[in-house]
Amino acid sequence: MTQELDEAAPPPPSNGGMRHVVGIALEWFRARLSDPKRRNLFFALLLVGALLFSGLGWWLLRPPEIAVLAIEPRPVEIALSVVARVRPKNLVDVRSPNAGQIIRLLHDDGDVVAAGAPLAIVRSTVEQAQTNASAARERAARAELDRAQLAFNRTRTLADRGFASDAALDEARATLRSAQAGLAAAAADRNASAAQTREFTIRAPMAGIVLVRPIDDGQVISPETTLFQLGSREGIELQADVDEAYADVLRIGMEARAALSGSEEIFAARIMEISPRVDPTTGGRLIKLAPVEETTIPPGRSVDVTIVVARREAGISVPRQAVIDATTDPNVYVVDASGRVTVRSVVIANWPSLNAIIDDGLNSGDRIVLTPSETAPGARVRVRLERSISTMGG
């Protein structure tokens, strides 16, 4: 069977057969190229094919395109961004000096109160009874004084006429003085009892607005219980917690830009106070800022604050993603005039800014690679200039 198949298969072409095929092909091309029109068309197609092939090779072998930033010194702000909370200029927690039960609340959240206005009443049945008893004792002491005064007047008249002795007059005078002292003591006791009773009517220590009322009618309170939180209506301040490492460079009077969280409207502020104490739990220091112009913001509102620490008239800042090994050995990739990537060591400011502020290592006109992960030192690249980054706020 195998032998029959081998006999049926055509024999492979010999060298002579290949020459014959090539000869036929050449004769075919000669016949076609003998016509001038066909010859011109053939060479035109051949030229177009060569151009397309060379263009494709150039396209595939050309250097990759890399985004670069041209360094141009310009004004740069060294700024610190923090989140602050709005707080009234004066904030008071109102408490009762005595324990007891709330029997009446006179104000609620958002109410505007005057200084001395009653806010709540605490049950004072016993204290009121003591006040009434003190008032009764005062009336009794006053009656006793009147009796002693009459007795003294009669004794003095009799002594002037010789019907009473000097000893009797002295006794009447002493009794009168004792009655006077007794009335003074009774009056003082009544005043003390009345003052203690008045303490059970809780009053506003200042004019302001009720921010929080965390209690309800009938609640039993202690002197540690906050009944109301009052905030002043005149002026606000912004409070922020700043890391101690950066708070050390802040100074009273430094300018700041502030905007309510979620808002684009900016208002000016200044640092008014820097706490000397470092909070051991947060490692930060409390700073207080005040708006330059009077403004009304609800207490507790979040505010994005940018504090201007310093300004450089001709500073250089670059995106942080363009810096390699920023914490250990900062470098950037620079593209030279021939399109080759080189490594440049830089010195960056130790500051938590949005962009890296360059202290040394770059000059005007340098072209830095914005995405160093897409290339390597020594590579040839084509540059694509990106627009300048914002230098405001660091």
| pLDDT tens by residue, 10-19 | 555 555 566 6
The phi, psi pair for 290, rounded to 5°, reads -130, 140
For the segment 293-307, the average pLDDT, to the nearest whole number, is: 89
88-97 tens-digit pLDDT: 988 999 999 9
Per-domain boundaries in the chain: 15-60, 66-74+314-385, 81-89+234-312, 100-203
* pLDDT grade for 60, boundaries at 50, 70 and 90: low
In words, the CATH class of domain 81-89+234-312 is: mainly beta
Looking at per-residue confidence, does 130 or 39 come out higher? 130
How far apart, in whole angstroms, are the C-alpha atoms of residue 2 and residue 165? 175
**Nearest-angstrom CA–CA distance, 9 and 12:** 9
pLDDT average, residue stretch 177-189: 92
Distance CA(169)–CA(313), nearest Å, equals 98
Least confident of 6-10, 143-147, 352-356, 371-375: 6-10
Q: What number is the average pLDDT over the span 320-347?
A: 90
Two tokens, residue 303: 């505010």
**Residue 236 near residue 211 (C-beta atoms within 8 A):** no
Within the chain, residue ranges assigned H as helices are 2-8, 15-33, 36-61, 125-161, 166-198, 244-247
Q: Is 158 exposed, middle or buried (0-12, 13-18, 19+ CB in 10 A)?
A: middle
Give the residue from 300, 222, 305, 241 showing the smallest Cα distance to 268. 305
State in words which class domain 66-74+314-385 has.
Answer: mainly beta
Closest among 258, 311, 260 to 289, alpha carbons compared: 258
Nearest CA-CA partner of 297 in 272, 262, 256, 273? 262
